[in-house]
Structure 1
């Protein structure tokens, strides 16, 4: 834009550039906006020149990022100006400041139409540019016919027709139902005969949009497209201005080949032969040169030609030529070319009869795994995964296992899954498969999902010849001084089932097996302890009564965990201890697991789901889950009138026989250790039935621990996140609840406490207590709601509805309408985290007691930090990751003021409660704090997050925070979450759980001495 002659505008821009900080700039902008507003109020005294100048200033201020909420009418009015300078300003500023739904645009429609149908070509171009930029529905309804007439008019200059084609393309993309293109087949064919390449390029863009919507109507355009390609390939009648580094109009070539890919086949043999001659010429004439611009243009044409070759299913000779050409590309030094070569070679795998040709380049592809660029490493991994078969599986899996040790955290989970799938699909023998999976768990246990070791258990269980070998390998790994917890789980399970097959081998006696497993017990989490207890029981079963010393050791462990607060561990310890005293009963209950039924691999299904995660498939999956039956467990605490100790009526508790064991639970991740799952009989408690454990546990019920009684995992769908529920949640007054029954304790404080711990009381009033207990694993969680009736009268009309935010998938079991007196109902709630967000789910709970109707809306502690897993990061791992995540939106920095004053040690403890692992020694400044964690969701999988806090010892109320991750939304949400926890603000109501994307974070300006008192903080790492 020409600004010469506008001294006021030039001075204003100069003033903005001379501002030393953001505050000065804001003051100068506010002053100028006030001046413009004043002048616009006295519009009668403004000359066209002055109005133009002030509108230019408004546009400049808007481009700086400030809101300009006035002066729109003045900008629109300039469109009607008779002179070009004012009209140009009106069109440019209107297209920048207003969107397609702005009311002021209606005022300009007639003026724009007059310019389009007028004879002034300059005004026509301005009007077409405005319509093409805004593309609103009203513009499409009013102006599309006029734009169409301009495009096919023979009296208009090519410049106008070119803009008309692009304008019509925008209108059609935005409003295909409004723009009438019926019967346009002949007109499009006529436009493709155009000799002017500018008009032809815009017409081809329009054709691509039309054939993508309905290719059947444009068959007559196909030969025309082939002729255009012939013309360009032979450089016939191509003006010099459309030749880019010796390549005739590369953009038109790409668009033409893209249009051809929307047609299923090329029927005519002459047309097909001509097309393949053109493609052959492109393939033969493309090579890597030193000029980057020419490379970009020629490669754009080449890779579109490769896509067309694959689409047309060309002869094997041409396919071989394509693969050979790509083989050259993946060996060059230019990373962009290597990336494109690997990506297109991966696409070539979908074509039959070329896999063997691609295998010739396997060494070079493996070398690409060590490339400094992570995007190239990802493409190489995808290509190796796709080209793997029985002939090369061993080599590829071995290379991937070696690469696993040096791969980034962001790739390790995906890499682990692919290694496991390849080992399963192409294993030459099952012992090799077991070796690979155990090596995988040993090298990357943190990133190995439970599905992988569940699958190993299935293979070992179903193959008797494999069981001694697997048990021996598990023993070898347990002998290592330090192994991952996942390795402890799989090794303990296998040894529990099959360690007796090794009894004749040296070092494999039951006592030695028990000793090596028991050494790992102090270091494992509570979710692994039940598996170890089951393994101890199995070992005990195979040694009774031969080894009293080992028996006493195991009994001592069971007695230790009889009073464990974790119900699952407590129940197993109690049951195993009592069963082991019965001898023969233990042999029956803990018999060897039967074979699993044949089914599709959960790993392969998981990979297929991740590769084809379309909206339709997600809807099908959702409907399937909605059809699952419901299940809720009721535990009644019946107190005798004589005041004797309470007896916990668990219904009829049965130990399932071997035939009743649910094999699906291993795939689904339910810990069902060695056949000891406890189920609730559906009969009422008073129904007579033989009770195997009644005499064992009748006097051992513990008040307050009704037992983690697990049935079949058939959970109800609960309330899904449809639009009605989203709207209801957005309007839910969580904090403003008017009930005659007042809660006991502060609901907000209870919620905040549960955000930092996994069990506690969510809500309590004189009649009911709602407790909650959570278990979190990767991106999934399981909350159990304990609804306890505190009175001697029943609670009726009980309803519980989950109002989930859009980023959580939640399934609540069926809640009974009545809770009996002094009874407790357990309602499992399954949670799946889809993507990062700070929105919270709400439990809409209501019940009736006597004449009191109580309704409360409670926030559920399924919050962002529940899906974090702290992970230690060394300096060798931290700094490359920190440097690779450079700048917004992956790395965000903010100076936070109003922080609750606390010592650095207190802040470290606070971060640990958020599941952020503080990494001491990484920052040389003793006043700074560095933390790391891994975030899990279905969309991001495992995502490493790095946090740096820089404090000012002189002022504890402010700090500078930097958060970095590989996902922009995660970075923003995690930064805001930590900020909310640190800043001393009054507790606010939760954000409405609507799917509103976070605002695009702006890069924080570097603090200066004038704008930031904490300017002496250390710089970025």
Structure 2
């Protein structure tokens, strides 16, 4: 910009630069904007010089990042100025301040057109630059013919024609109709004969856009493109200014080869031969040199040439040459070149004839799998996955399994899925396949989806010869002191079905099998317990006549879970308990699973369908729209005496629920030729089964975890800590006429919310008329609630409304709630929650109802809190330090926290575990410190590893130093604050702590900082 002579503008820029802080700068800018606004109001008194000066100031203020919401008209008006200085300012400022949809641009169309059709080349260039930058559809309709004339004119200078070509490209992108296909083929061929490389390069950009839209109309241009390539390859008539580090116009070469890839093939033998000669010259003449700029240019040309070779499907000799060249690239030290070599070799796999040639580089590709750069590791994984076949599957899968132990967490899920697919597709024998999948689960259980072990079950079930081997391997893995929960699932299932095949082996008697599986029961989550209960029933069935000691042990487990809050667990316990007393009839009811029907592998389908999650969410949304309400109203059907109904089999009948079909034992026994009802009865259900107990304090923590010998009767006789007589109903009806005029909750709402932050089911709110319970299930960044709205009275509740007020980081969808809840009925309302990003904000349930003359309204916090989207994960020392060391603020934050309730290390570890942070013992040499790890899930971060370190002061338990690290700065801050809130806000019954000394924890303690490792 020519700013000479504008003293006022120079002074303003100096004033802004001399401001000592942002506030001073803002005050100076606001003052100047006020002055400019005042001067523009008296526009008649402004000289062209002054208007130009003020418009320059507006542009400078805009470039500083401030909003400029006036003066646009003055800038546009300068475009019509007769002199170059004012016109230049008008074009530049208009291009910067306005976009293609701005209304003021319409006022400039005529002025711009006058400059384009005029004879002043400088004005033509200014106008073409403006249109090429911000021209929209209206510009395209008005100016395209004039721009085309400039481009095709032989009297215009190359500078103008070059800008005209780029301007026409912009207009074509905004409105393809501005270029008449019928007439432009010959004109385009004429432009490709251009000798000036500047015009030719701009015209080639236009040509690429044209052929990408419709290549059929431009076949006549194909020979011209080949001639351009020949000219550049032989360095004929290429000016020095278009030679970049000895390479003739690399940009034009890339664009020309890109245009050739839009044509399906090259039929003419002479043209094809000429093109292959050029490609051969490029392949032979490209090598890795020390100069980075030359490398970048030559490799840009080379990789575009490789893409063209693959597109033309040329002869095998050239393909071999391409693979050999790429093999050199993946062995060099420069990471960018290695990446491009691996990426292009993966693309070469689409050509079937080169698989064997690529296999020669398998060792180097496996080496790249351990590269420090994760992007190179990903490309290596893709290449190994693509090049795998029967001949090399065993080697590649074994390498992937070895790499799994040290792979980044971001890659483990993809790595596990691909290893499982390769093992399935190319397994030399099924026993090897079972070995691979079990190793996979053992090494990366957290990253192995349920689909993988479901598939193993299908293979074993359908192959009788494989069943003893699979059961034996499962038995061996259970001997390990610590195994992943997924391994518990698959081992329990296999041993439940086939452990009787191992009866003669040592350590494989039914009693021993039950004992080793039952040892794992306290360590598993709720969805796994039904699988173990089914396994116990199968073991009993296979041990007929049963061992009395074994039978009593299994019955004790079933007794314990007969009153479980989870409907699926409760139903299985009740039904299996009843079935296990039928003696020999159990053999028919619980016979082995039948063979599965042959079908496409869900793993392969999952790998092919990259949009599976999106499609699934769309389907859920569609189903929700199709149903006006998913709320299920369940009325109380218990006998008057409050006793549960008992079927003819002597089993407690659980009311049916809306989302899961819980068949009774008799129904199950009639399916699948006398076998248990299909795979869903054993494998975990995908939908959560809401509990069905009506009006009882369904979700309060009754003796779910009590010992098997304790009966449930005593627990049912206590509600909210108040004793009631054994014959009374736990929730006695509240008479309508005797209520307090103000409806108050009969539970501590804050206490209930805090409790639900640490568990997934319970009562959220209760008053004399209504009880609101919650049952939740979490998977990754998604959560599913079921809200239980219970009417405790003999009269209906009217005007019921429930609205979710989600914070910005949550996306929620609540099914419609009925306006009326019948007497002594319960409404179950599904609520879907998706976590978009890390935040400690809480969703609110706005719930209101009318009972008689009372209108009750409450806003209740929902426990969709940050720790619900955490998944504890155990990391080794190597994994921890490799992730911890590279992180710096703001990805790693440290704070000294004071006012902490004094607690032992064990209590603090229990607190962290309850927040879904897994304490990792042995990682910190200082016994006073704790290290924990977890994985956070959200739509923006996906699976993000989080690491926490807490250093305590043995001399003062009221303070500690906490360090939190993750790959996202917002997540690090939110998690640190979340943990701090729970450390400081824990209620205490002890005496208040002594005043905290105001000095930080000493960092000079040799053990306090992990000996410098952290």
TM-score for the superposition, normalised by structure 1: 0.78
Q: CA deviation at 1:261?
A: 1.1
Aligned to 2:139: 139
Q: CA deviation at 1:856?
A: 10
User: How many angstroms apart in 2 are the aligned matches of 1:26 and 1:746?
Assistant: 50
SS at match of 1:771: strand
Is 1:348 equivalent to 2:358 in the alignment? no
Instruction: Mark the CA change 1:620 to 1:124 in structure 2 (over 3 Å): closer, same or farther.
Output: farther
Is 1:638 equivalent to 2:637 in the alignment? yes
Aligned to 2:364: 364
TM-score for the superposition, normalised by structure 2: 0.78
Q: CA deviation at 1:83?
A: 3.4
Map residues 235-274 of structure 1 onto 2, 5 A cutoff: 235-274=235-274
Unaligned segments of structure 1, at least 5 residues: 681-698, 706-739, 985-1013
Map residues 654-665 of structure 1 onto 2, 5 A cutoff: 654-655=664-665, 656-657=668-669, 658-659=671-672, 663=678, 665=680
Q: Is the 8 A contact 2:437 2:456 kept in 1?
A: yes
User: How many angstroms apart in 1 are the aligned matches of 2:856 and 2:176?
Assistant: 51
SS at match of 1:289: coil
Moved more, 475-484 or 528-537: 528-537
Instruction: Mark the CA change 1:615 to 1:482 in structure 2 (over 3 Å): closer, same or farther.
Output: closer
Aligned to 2:685: 670
Aligned to 1:280: 280
Moved more, 12-21 or 323-332: 12-21
SS at match of 1:942: strand
Structure showing greater Rg: 2
Instruction: Mark the CA change 1:96 to 1:354 in structure 2 (over 3 Å): closer, same or farther.
Output: same
Q: Is the 8 A contact 1:531 1:671 kept in 2?
A: no
User: How many angstroms apart in 1 are the aligned matches of 2:454 and 2:878?
Assistant: 33
Aligned to 2:209: 209
Aligned to 1:406: 406
Is 1:784 equivalent to 2:765 in the alignment? no
Q: CA deviation at 1:422?
A: 0.4
User: How many angstroms apart in 2 are the aligned matches of 1:91 and 1:677?
Assistant: 66
Q: Is the 8 A contact 1:169 1:209 kept in 2?
A: yes
User: How many angstroms apart in 1 are the aligned matches of 2:756 and 2:181?
Assistant: 59
User: How many angstroms apart in 2 are the aligned matches of 1:165 and 1:614?
Assistant: 43
Q: Deviations for 1:506-531, whole angstroms, at most 9, x for unmatched residues?
A: 12122222222222222222222222
Q: Is the 8 A contact 1:637 1:646 kept in 2?
A: no
SS at match of 2:254: helix
Is 1:448 equivalent to 2:463 in the alignment? no
Is 1:821 equivalent to 2:836 in the alignment? no
User: How many angstroms apart in 1 are the aligned matches of 2:756 and 2:877?
Assistant: 33
Q: Deviations for 1:958-978, whole angstroms, at most 9, x for unmatched residues?
A: x9998743xxxx765785797
Aligned to 1:83: 83
User: How many angstroms apart in 2 are the aligned matches of 1:895 and 1:150?
Assistant: 64
Instruction: Mark the CA change 1:301 to 1:50 in structure 2 (over 3 Å): closer, same or farther.
Output: same
Aligned to 2:879: 877
User: How many angstroms apart in 2 are the aligned matches of 1:949 and 1:44?
Assistant: 70
Q: 2:760 aligns with which of 758, 761, 784?
A: 758
Aligned to 1:690: none
Aligned to 2:777: 775
Q: CA deviation at 1:445?
A: 1.0
Instruction: Mark the CA change 1:382 to 1:595 in structure 2 (over 3 Å): closer, same or farther.
Output: same
Q: CA deviation at 1:407?
A: 0.7
User: How many angstroms apart in 1 are the aligned matches of 2:760 and 2:318?
Assistant: 61
User: How many angstroms apart in 2 are the aligned matches of 1:350 and 1:630?
Assistant: 49
Instruction: Mark the CA change 1:753 to 1:533 in structure 2 (over 3 Å): closer, same or farther.
Output: closer
Q: Deviations for 1:197-243, whole angstroms, at most 9, x for unmatched residues?
A: 11111111111112212222222222221221111111121111111
Q: Is the 8 A contact 1:654 1:678 kept in 2?
A: no
Q: Is the 8 A contact 2:571 2:654 kept in 1?
A: no
Q: CA deviation at 1:592?
A: 1.6
Aligned to 2:935: 934
Aligned to 1:198: 198
Instruction: Mark the CA change 1:646 to 1:895 in structure 2 (over 3 Å): closer, same or farther.
Output: same
Q: Deviations for 1:919-976, whole angstroms, at most 9, x for unmatched residues?
A: 899999999999754234678653335689999xxxx99x9998743xxxx7657857
Moved more, 188-197 or 829-838: 829-838
User: How many angstroms apart in 2 are the aligned matches of 1:72 and 1:862?
Assistant: 48
Q: CA deviation at 1:319?
A: 1.1
Aligned to 1:943: 944
SS at match of 1:380: helix
Q: CA deviation at 1:553?
A: 2.4
Q: CA deviation at 1:115?
A: 2.3
Map residues 251-330 of structure 1 onto 2, 5 A cutoff: 251-330=251-330
User: How many angstroms apart in 1 are the aligned matches of 2:516 and 2:775?
Assistant: 32
Instruction: Mark the CA change 1:921 to 1:46 in structure 2 (over 3 Å): closer, same or farther.
Output: farther
SS at match of 2:183: coil
Q: CA deviation at 1:765?
A: 7.9
Aligned to 1:157: 157
Aligned to 1:386: 386
Q: Is the 8 A contact 1:743 1:763 kept in 2?
A: no
Aligned to 1:1007: none
Instruction: Determine which structure has greater relative contact order: mean sequence separation of CA pairs < 8 Å that are 6+ residues apart, divided by chain length.
Output: 1
Q: CA deviation at 1:170?
A: 2.0
User: How many angstroms apart in 2 are the aligned matches of 1:29 and 1:949?
Assistant: 47
Q: Is the 8 A contact 2:928 2:951 kept in 1?
A: yes
User: How many angstroms apart in 2 are the aligned matches of 1:883 and 1:68?
Assistant: 45
RMSD of equivalent CA atoms: 5.1
User: How many angstroms apart in 1 are the aligned matches of 2:930 and 2:65?
Assistant: 33
Q: Is the 8 A contact 2:690 2:775 kept in 1?
A: no
Map residues 837-852 of structure 1 onto 2, 5 A cutoff: none
Aligned to 2:723: none
Instruction: Mark the CA change 1:640 to 1:677 in structure 2 (over 3 Å): closer, same or farther.
Output: closer
User: How many angstroms apart in 1 are the aligned matches of 2:927 and 2:105?
Assistant: 58
Q: CA deviation at 1:359?
A: 0.6
Map residues 549-628 of structure 1 onto 2, 5 A cutoff: 549-610=549-610
Aligned to 1:735: none
Q: CA deviation at 1:404?
A: 0.7
Q: Is the 8 A contact 1:842 1:858 kept in 2?
A: yes
Q: CA deviation at 1:7?
A: 5.7
SS at match of 1:508: coil
Q: CA deviation at 1:606?
A: 0.7
SS at match of 1:194: coil
Q: Is the 8 A contact 2:493 2:682 kept in 1?
A: no
SS at match of 2:944: strand
User: How many angstroms apart in 2 are the aligned matches of 1:879 and 1:164?
Assistant: 58
Map residues 853-868 of structure 1 onto 2, 5 A cutoff: 866-868=868-870
Q: Deviations for 1:851-887, whole angstroms, at most 9, x for unmatched residues?
A: 9999999997667654332335566434543566779
Moved more, 578-587 or 751-760: 751-760
User: How many angstroms apart in 2 are the aligned matches of 1:917 and 1:37?
Assistant: 61
Aligned to 2:706: none
Unaligned segments of structure 2, at least 5 residues: 646-651, 657-662, 694-711, 719-740, 953-957, 983-999, 1004-1008
User: How many angstroms apart in 1 are the aligned matches of 2:431 and 2:294?
Assistant: 53
Instruction: Mark the CA change 1:749 to 1:312 in structure 2 (over 3 Å): closer, same or farther.
Output: farther
